[in-house]
Amino acid sequence: MFEKIEIFNKRYEELNKKIYQPDIAANADEFNKIMKEIRELEPVVLKYREYKQAQKTIEDSLEILGDSSADIELKELAQTELDESKKAVETLSDELKILLLPKDPNDERNVIIEIRGGAGGEESALFSAVLYRMYSMYAESKGFKTEIINASETELGGYKEISFMINGEGAYSRFKYESGVHRVQRVPETESQGRIHTSTTTVAVLPEADEVEMEINPKDLKIDTFRSSGAGGQHINKTSSAIRITHLPTGMVVECQDERSQYKNKDKALKVLKSRLLQQKQEAQDSAISAERRSQVGSGDRSERIRTYNYPQGRVTDHRIGLTLYKLEDILSGNLDEVIDSLVAADRAEKLKESMEN
């Protein structure tokens, strides 16, 4: 492990010298490329330097403790530093192992989220709107930008389905754990008897595909235009600006009617289609990996019930990691960090365990 980190350390030093060279400073693309590599290496290198300093402190302390001419006070100080540095070395070693885990290549991408009502009819559609609000508020707290792609509203203000893009560096790394079935238990607004109902909503999280990695042959696409409409036939567009794209080889269909511009709707729909095809490709690759080597926390299985939101108890339970928080309103208001940080930690622990077993 440390041989690999030493290589990173040398590369980090080389790059930090390189950015001060006049020809690099004058080339914005090359400068940004180097700075990106520096940022990627920096967490490992700085942690490694802390580790080396702690190791040196251990060596110095042992030398003092073995010196018969050293006075008692100095030896007591050396013993204290030795004990503290040994603990630090152990902690830093674990942190370095985590930093060296293979990164998800999609983590820095923008993300497309698709929310669809499941079991529960209108109540499910209403909860889809609650989830959309939760995610958009969380995105805003992170400085990300949310942009609706397509929405099918109900008369009571819910969504049969809604798809939207979240733009921001590292968006996928925060939202990727949300794929799956979200269950809600509450007294519906449409229920007069006060009985608690259970309904479900499905969330799919897709990393935005790059143009280079997911090229689509125009001959494989059937593109239709139609007039967009809102809930109950409201907001009828006089022009046929809404777009429906069918990918003929797979039968995949994407609609976009959020923009008044046909061109913008087509551009958004193509982004969704490419992202779905990329995920389909990645899922096919993942299925070839043995179950033992796959992290269950980040599996993103859309059929898996991942979380329950219980309104009467004010409780949110994430079933994958057994996390229960009595902070329902707080979480639904977009304060998701405690949940997501716990999922990230569990995912890292699982991957660390796998890397040690292999």
* Cα(24)–Cα(35) distance, integer angstroms: 11
Q: Per-residue DSSP letters for 301-332?
A: -TTSEEEEEETTTTEEEETTTTEEES-HHHHH
* pTM (2 d.p.): 0.67
Fold classification of 2-99 is Methane Monooxygenase Hydroxylase; Chain G, domain 1 (1.20.58)
Tell me the pLDDT of the chain (358 aa) as tens digits. Answer: 788 888 888 999 999 999 889 888 888 888 888 998 898 899 899 999 999 999 999 999 999 999 888 889 999 999 999 999 999 999 998 888 888 877 777 888 899 999 998 887 888 999 999 999 999 999 999 999 998 988 888 888 899 989 999 999 889 999 999 999 999 999 876 666 678 889 999 999 988 886 555 678 888 888 888 776 654 444 444 456 788 888 888 888 888 876 677 778 888 888 888 888 887 777 765 554 444 334 445 444 456 789 999 999 999 999 999 999 999 999 999 999 999 999 988 888 887 777 666 5
- Which top CATH class is 111-289+298-349? alpha beta
Domains 2-99 and 111-289+298-349 share a fold: no
Distances (CA, A) of 98 to 216, 294, 335: 37, 16, 25
Domain boundaries, the chain: 2-99, 111-289+298-349
Question: What sign does the CA torsion over 211, 213, 219, 223 have?
Answer: negative
* Cα(187)–Cα(184) distance, integer angstroms: 10
Alpha helices in 107-170 (DSSP H): 122-141
Nearest to 199 by CA among 210, 191, 188: 188
State residue 303's pLDDT score: 61
State residue 24's pLDDT score: 87
Cα radius of gyration rounded to whole Å, the chain:
26
Distances (CA, A) of 234 to 128, 230, 265: 20, 5, 19
State residue 131's pLDDT score: 96
State residue 289's pLDDT score: 42
State residue 111's pLDDT score: 92
Q: Which segments of the chain are extended strands (E)?
A: 111-117, 145-153, 159-167, 180-186, 197-207, 221-226, 242-247, 252-256, 305-310, 315-318, 323-325
- 65-95 as b/e, with b when 16 or more CB fall inside 10 Å? eeeeeeeeeeeeebeebbeebeebbeebeeb
Neighbours of 46 (CB within 10 A): 13
State residue 329's pLDDT score: 95
State residue 285's pLDDT score: 57
